[in-house]
């Protein structure tokens, strides 16, 4: 048997012989590594899954960019620009567009509103995605008038066709039109990009219509391209700017002042979630470090008890490298057990994540221990072994054998170990307090955000979305007539106080539109941006939005009126009466819409982000509107009206499906889910850090008491009372905690400033957060120190003095 195998089998036996040490170390490691793995899986699912593509570093996103508007000046390409740029560019292997929308799916059981992605024929090949069944699209299919075909996503295949392997060649009805299924994608396929947590149910060719190709100011073609080998992002961007400059000279009305920008996948993720991602990684690192410090501390204690054994081994001729190998083998074995425990804990935590999500998302995110998570778990274990194993192994292997054989654990080496363990506790407390402060700031920020004015009353409110089947409502009149029926019927439902329709809800990430203000035209054909909403007359009542001036719409309003939000009025007509002022949604030459009312602003995004101006237009002037949200102000619980709502819709149109049937609270919960989840995870990790820090303090104090048993015996023999001993031990423990806490508060202050951009309504030095964090840690530290202190105070001096 080789020396390594001997070390391994003896290390295994040794761990079995010390169940309490082994369980403490393995549990701590499993918690640290398991939490790390679960957090990684979540990040992987939410963010990194954007990259399961062939050579993702060569995939870029193309934007038009209005440099005068900074980050807000970034737009997707318009359909005609996409075609022109694709034709003129030389830097790409292929370029592809995607446009996501909702549609009614029928022909496979109950009709349903599903998300559909229209994509170029080159979409799947460019990403390197190979369908699980069938094929992708051909160029011929990506033309107007081509036979209608569809590719199902894996979840779409499972949901709508029960995973039927014979689905290829079957037909489905999308918005009343028959489509032949030509392919099914694999389970790992993800649509770029990045924080979309669900795939569309199905894909169909984008085949831009002649109508779409008319408008260069409708930025509805999200564009991805694969760089040619040798092409760089910089060279592609230079080319894009050149093409757009040429387009600007050709189409000055739409393209004047527009340039181009190209971003990589990493840039995109970083823009969207960078801060949160780094924060989560930081939090995970802290917890891992605390766990490692705890285990290192345990290993040092364990090593301390083995001073004499190590000295004997040295006397028998063991080289330092042999001792190091033996101790590292033990650490590695602990790491292996920790890894196995982490798999269980990681899986359990992953199963618990949906509880953190709003109910309407909980069934979408399913996390599993995939290969990447397993890799991270394993790598974390190795890292942990190196962090917690090396220092104790190095320390123990450097013992002075002559001294250790003479004094055993209670010699100078013991004192040195205790010094090191004290340093580790200080470090651990500092880390835990940093984490607590960060979590506290984020939680308080979230709470403040939840209390922030939304501009509408989310309770009790019920909302839902629906899309008309185009073939059933082919004209503006038929569509409007149906919408009118919907409003009428819903208004009479029991429990409904007000019902209305809108094309866009607050808190639902709708798009912006350019507008011009009479008498305030921007140079170079630039436009102001606002959120447009086509609304029925009862919208403000149904949503609980304040009408500050003027009037709401009536069904008799012409198409030349609008209502604006107060922030828009303040921007353009400060100190003036906005009523009667005019603006245009279709360019500087009108037609002009006269302002007839002034409404309070509503919040589209999370607190802390700018509130966009809003322009409301009468719904009935919007022509053939096919997609709408309904909003119902109700009495009592919003969910109570849902059955009647569904029934009413079935009576109105049995082919029509409702989507996003959300109460006002669910609507709020669905907005910017990612950052909220991360705040909750940070809070959970902080609680874990607090627990681990408590265990660490307890471990060190217990050992220190054991080390000082004889001293305590002497003190008691000399007349020390119980309270004197208690004070002695508590002072010792709390001094360490106070030092760690001081460092942690300083660190927390620094971290608070680092995450200041993520905070709303809370300053990085928020006194309440600091007080709560410090008191929580002090309380845990006190409890962790009290038990060893009590043990010390009940030492029998006779036994203690004999015990040498």
Partner 1 sequence: MTPLIHLESIKKVFTTDEIETHALADIHLDIKEGEFLSIAGPSGCGKSTLLSILGLLDTPTDGTYILNKKPASGLKLSERARIRNREIGFIFQSFNLIGDLTVFENVELPLVYRGMSVGERRARAMGVLEEVGMSHRAKHLPSQLSGGQQQRVAVARALAGRPSVLLADEPTGNLDSTNGEAVMDLLKDLHQRGSTICMVTHDTRFTAFAERTVHLFDGRIVSEEEAAKNHVP
Minimum CB–partner distance for residue 2 and partner 1 (Å): 9
Residue among 308 and 551 whose Cβ is closer to partner 1: 308
- Report the SS3 class of residue 396: helix
Binding to partner 1, residues 563-592 (CB under 8 A): none
CB of 383 to partner 1, least distance (A): 28
Provide, rounded to whole angstroms, the least separation between the CB of residue 318 and partner 1: 5
The verdict on 402 binding partner 1 (CB under 8 A) reads: yes
Please pick, from the candidates 405, 447, 521, 579, the single residue that binds partner 1 as defined by CB under 8 A: 405
Smaller CB separation from partner 1, 406 or 753:
406
Question: What is the Cα–Cα distance from 49 to 54, expressed in whole angstroms?
Answer: 13
13 binds partner 1 (CB under 8 A): yes
Query: Rule CB under 8 A: is residue 228 a binding residue for partner 1?
Result: no
Choices 11-19, 490-498, 536-544, 703-711 (CB under 8 A): range interacting with partner 1: 11-19
Q: Does 399 sit near partner 1 (CB under 8 A)?
A: no
Build a one-symbol-per-residue string for 369-398: x at contacts with partner 1 by CB under 8 A, - elsewhere. ------------------------------
CA distance 541 to 531: 19
Cβ neighbours around 394 below 10 Å, total: 14
Told to check if 14 binds partner 1 by CB under 8 A, we report yes
Q: How far is the CB of 787 from partner 1 (least distance, A)?
A: 28
Q: Does 87 bind partner 1 (CB under 8 A)?
A: no
Instruction: Give yes or no for residue 556 binding partner 1 (CB under 8 A).
Output: no
Nearer to partner 1, 403 or 743 (CB): 403
Question: Residue 747: is it exposed, middle or buried by C-beta count within 10 angstroms (0-12/13-18/19+)?
Answer: middle
- Contact between 541 and partner 1 by CB under 8 A: the answer reads no
Distance of CA 300 to the CA centre of its chain: 38
Site string for partner 1, 746-775 (x = CB under 8 A): ------------------------------
Beta bridge partners of 181: 150
Residue 20 in the binding site for partner 1 (CB under 8 A): no
**CB under 8 Å to 575, separation ≥6 — which residues?**
none
Identify the H or E element spanning 417. helix 412-451
Alpha-carbon distance of 705 to 687, in angstroms, equals: 27
Considering the rule CB under 8 A, would residue 711 count as an interface residue with partner 1?
A: no
Residues 307-366 that bind partner 1 (CB under 8 A): 308-309, 311-322
Which is nearest to 498 in space by CA: 460, 551, 555, 465? 460
Query: Taking the complex as a whole, how short is the minimal distance between the CB of residue 394 and partner 1, in angstroms?
Result: 14
Stretch of 1-9, 29-37, 335-343, 349-357 contacting partner 1, by CB under 8 A? 1-9
Stretch in the footprint of partner 1 (CB under 8 A) among 13-21, 608-616, 634-642, 790-798: 13-21
**Cα distance between residue 224 and residue 96, in whole Å:** 5
- How many residues bind partner 1 (CB under 8 A)? The answer is 25
Q: In the complex, what is the shortest distance from the CB of residue 296 to partner 1, in angstroms, rounded to a whole number?
A: 22
Q: Output 283 or 404, the one with its CB closest to partner 1.
A: 404
**Which residue number, 323 or 658, has a Cβ lying nearer to partner 1?**
323
Residue 1 engages partner 1 in binding (rule: CB under 8 A)? yes
> If DSSP codes are grouped into helix, strand and coil, which group holds residue 356?
helix
Q: Which stretch binds partner 1 (CB under 8 A): 72-80, 402-410, 513-521, 649-657?
A: 402-410
Q: Does 100 bind partner 1 (CB under 8 A)?
A: no
Work out which of 354, 401, 476, 608 binds partner 1, going by CB under 8 A: 401
For 229, phi then psi, to 5°, come to: -60, 135
Residue 417: CB minimum distance to partner 1, A: 18
CB of 14 to partner 1, least distance (A): 5
Nearer to partner 1, 414 or 455 (CB): 414
Question: How far is residue 23 from each of residues 299, 343, 685, 699, measured CA to CA in Å?
Answer: 13, 16, 21, 13
Q: What DSSP letter does each residue of 542-605 carry, written as one string?
A: HHT--EEEE----TT--TTEEEEEHHHHHHHSTTS--TT-EEESS-TT--EEEEEEEE-----S
Task: Record the tokens describing residue 383, joined without a space.
Answer: 């890292």
CB of 305 to partner 1, least distance (A): 10
CA 287 centroid distance within chain: 19
Biggest CA–CA distance in the chain, Å, is 102
CB of 402 or CB of 799, closer to partner 1 = 402
CA distance 371 to 377: 10
Ramachandran region, residue 255 (left: φ > 0; alpha: ψ -120 to 50; beta: rest): alpha
Q: Judged by CB under 8 A, does residue 407 bind partner 1?
A: no
For residues 464 and 502, give the distance between their C-alpha atoms in angstroms, rounded to a whole number: 11
The number of helices, as runs of H, and strands, as runs of E, in the chain is: 24, 22
Structural Rg of the chain based on CA atoms: 33
What is the C-alpha to C-alpha distance for residues 102 and 410, in angstroms, rounded to an integer? 73
Give the nearer residue to partner 1 in terms of CB position, either 413 or 688. 413
Instruction: Report, in Å, the least distance between residue 674 CB and partner 1.
Output: 50
Alpha-helix runs per DSSP H in 51-132: 79-88, 123-127
Which two tokens mark 128? 């390197």
Q: Is 779 in the site for partner 1 (CB under 8 A)?
A: no
Rule CB under 8 A: say whether 633 interacts with partner 1: no
Q: Which listed range, 130-138, 305-313, 486-494, 626-634, lies at the site for partner 1 (CB under 8 A)? A: 305-313
Q: Can residue 19 be called a binding residue for partner 1 (CB under 8 A)?
A: no
Q: CB nearer to partner 1: give 34 or 408.
A: 408
Can you spell out the DSSP letters for 291-344?
A: HHHHHHHHHHHHHHTTHHHHHHHHHTT--HHHHHHHHHHHHHHHHHHHHHHHHH
List interacting residues with partner 1 (CB under 8 A).
Answer: 1, 3, 6, 10, 13-14, 17, 308-309, 311-322, 401-402, 405-406
């Amino acid at each position: 048997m080789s020396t390594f195998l001997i070390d391994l089998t003896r290390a295994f036996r040794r761990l079995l012989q010390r169940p309490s040490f082994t369980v403490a170390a393995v549990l701590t490691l499993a918690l640290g590594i398991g939490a790390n793995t679960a957090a990684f899986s979540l990040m992987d699912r939410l963010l990194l899954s954007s990259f399961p593509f062939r050579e993702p570093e060569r995939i870029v996103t193309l934007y038009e960019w209005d440099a005068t508007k900074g980050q807000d000046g970034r737009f997707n390409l318009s359909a005609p620009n996409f075609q022109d740029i694709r034709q003129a560019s030389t830097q790409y292997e292929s370029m592809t567009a995607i446009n996501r929308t909702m549609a009614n799916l029928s022909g496979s059981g109950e009709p349903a509103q599903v998300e559909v992605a229209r994509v170029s024929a080159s979409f799947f090949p460019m990403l390197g995605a190979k369908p699980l069944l069938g094929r992708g699209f051909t160029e011929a299919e990506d033309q107007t008038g081509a036979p209608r075909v569809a590719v199902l996503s894996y979840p779409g295949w499972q949901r709508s066709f029960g995973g039927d392997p014979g689905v290829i060649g079957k037909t489905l009805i999308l918005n009343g039109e028959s489509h032949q299924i030509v392919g099914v994608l694999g389970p790992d396929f993800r649509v770029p990009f990045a924080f979309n947590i669900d795939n569309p149910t199905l894909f169909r060719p984008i085949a831009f219509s002649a109508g779409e190709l008319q408008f260069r100011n409708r930025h509805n073609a999200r564009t991805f391209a694969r760089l040619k080998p040798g092409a760089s992002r910089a060279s592609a961007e230079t080319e894009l700017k050149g093409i757009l400059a040429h387009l600007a000279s050709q189409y000055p009305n739409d393209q004047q002042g527009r340039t181009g920008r190209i971003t990589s996948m990493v840039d995109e993720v970083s823009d969207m979630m960078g801060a949160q991602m780094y924060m989560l990684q930081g939090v995970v690192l802290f917890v891992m470090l605390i766990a490692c410090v705890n285990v290192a501390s345990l290993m040092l204690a364990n090593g301390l008890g083995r001073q004499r054994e190590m000295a004997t081994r040295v006397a028998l001729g063991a080289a330092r490298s042999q001792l190091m190998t033996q101790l590292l083998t033990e650490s590695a074995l602990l790491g292996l057990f920790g890894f196995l425990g982490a798999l269980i804990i990681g899986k359990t935590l992953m199963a618990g994540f949906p509880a953190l999500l709003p109910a309407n998302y909980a069934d979408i995110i399913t996390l599993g221990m995939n290969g990447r998570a397993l890799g991270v778990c394993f790598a974390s274990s190795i890292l942990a072994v190196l962090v917690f194993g090396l220092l104790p192994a190095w320390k123990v292997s450097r013992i002075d054998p002559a001294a250790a054989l003479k004094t055993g654990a209670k010699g100078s080496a013991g004192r040195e170990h205790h010094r090191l363990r004290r340093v580790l506790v200080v470090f651990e407390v500092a880390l835990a307090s940093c984490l607590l402060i960060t979590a506290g700031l984020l939680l308080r920020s979230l709470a403040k955000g939840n209390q922030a004015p939304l501009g509408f009353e989310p309770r009790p409110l019920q909302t839902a979305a629906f899309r008309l089947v185009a073939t059933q409502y082919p004209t503006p009149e038929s569509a409007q007539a149906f919408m009118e029926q919907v409003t009428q019927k819903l208004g009479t439902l029991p429990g409904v106080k007000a019902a209305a329709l809108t094309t866009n809800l607050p808190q639902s990430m709708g798009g912006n539109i350019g507008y011009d203000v009479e008498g305030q035209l921007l140079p170079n054909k630039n436009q102001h941006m606002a959120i447009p909403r086509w609304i029925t007359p009862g919208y403000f009542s149904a949503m609980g939005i304040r009408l500050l001036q003027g009037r709401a719409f009536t069904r008799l309003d012409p198409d030349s009126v609008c209502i604006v939000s107060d922030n828009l009025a303040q921007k353009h007509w400060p100190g003036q009466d906005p009523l009667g002022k005019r603006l245009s949604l279709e360019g500087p030459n009108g037609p002009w819409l006269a302002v007839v009312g002034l409404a309070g602003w509503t919040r589209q995004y999370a607190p802390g982000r700018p509130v966009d101006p809003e322009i409301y237009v009468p719904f009935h002037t919007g022509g053939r509107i096919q997609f709408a949200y309904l909003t119902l102000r109700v009495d009592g619980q919003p969910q109570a009206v849902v059955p009647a709502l569904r029934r009413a819709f079935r009576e109105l149109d049995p082919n029509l499906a409702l989507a996003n049937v959300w109460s006002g609270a669910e609507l709020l919960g669905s907005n910017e889910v990612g950052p909220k989840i991360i705040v909750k995870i940070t809070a959970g990790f902080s609680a874990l850090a607090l627990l681990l820090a408590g265990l660490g303090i307890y471990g060190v104090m217990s050992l220190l008491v054991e080390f000082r048993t004889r001293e305590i015996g002497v003190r008691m023999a000399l007349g020390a009372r119980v309270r004197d001993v208690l004070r002695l031990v508590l002072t010792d423990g709390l001094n360490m905690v106070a030092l760690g806490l001081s460092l942690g508060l300083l660190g927390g202050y620094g971290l608070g400033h680092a995450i200041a951009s993520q905070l709303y309504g809370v300053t990085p030095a928020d006194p309440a957060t600091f007080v709560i964090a410090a008191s929580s840690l002090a309380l845990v530290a006190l409890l962790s120190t009290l038990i060893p202190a009590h043990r010390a105070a009940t030492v029998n001096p006779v036994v203690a003095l004999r015990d040498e």
